[in-house]
Structure 1
Amino acid sequence: MALNKIRQLDRDSVGITLPKDDMRVEGLLDENGELEGDHHIHIRHVGEGEWTLELVEEID
């Protein structure tokens, strides 16, 4: 199991690094391994210590 560190981003938010290999599988990276375009993720807290992430294709 890979572990990812939770980091303080600013006073009101934290961030978690997502592995590039996972982003590549989702088709979010270009041929140089750089993030291609704008993408949004819906984060849902589902229980104690558990969240789900869902890539949102379109924002209304």
Structure 2
Amino acid sequence: MALNKLRQLDQDSVGITLPKDNVRVEGLLGENGQLQGDQHAHIRHVGDGEWTVELVEGLEP
């Protein structure tokens, strides 16, 4: 099991890194390995120490 560190982003939020291989499998990276376009995700707290992350498609900027 891979472990990822939580990081302080600013006063109001923290972040966690998603492994690029996992993001690549979803088809979200271009040939150069960079994230393609604007991507949005819904993060839901589902229980003690457990969250789900769901890619949201079709949002207009």
Calculate the TM-score normalised by the size of structure 1. Answer: 0.95
Deviation at 1:58, TM superposition (A): 1.8
Q: State how far apart, in whole Å, the 2-side matches of 1:38 and 1:22 are.
A: 17
**2:32 paired with 1:36:** no
Task: Please give the residue correspondences for 1:11-22 in structure 2 after superposition, counting only pairs within 5 Å.
Answer: 11-22=11-22
Aligned residues: 60
User: 4+ runs of 1 displaced by more than 4 Å?
Assistant: none
5+ long unaligned stretches in structure 1: none
5+ long unaligned stretches in structure 2: none
Percent identity between the aligned chains?
A: 77
Deviation at 1:59, TM superposition (A): 2.6
Q: Kindly report the root-mean-square deviation, in angstroms, between the aligned alpha carbons of the 2 structures.
A: 1.0
Q: State how far apart, in whole Å, the 1-side matches of 2:59 and 2:50 are.
A: 25
Calculate the TM-score normalised by the size of structure 2. Answer: 0.94
Q: State how far apart, in whole Å, the 2-side matches of 1:43 and 1:59 are.
A: 16
Q: State how far apart, in whole Å, the 1-side matches of 2:34 and 2:59 are.
A: 22
**What amino acid is aligned across from residue 59 of structure 2 in structure 1?**
I
Deviation at 1:11, TM superposition (A): 0.4
More strand by share: 1
- 1:50 corresponds to which residue? 50
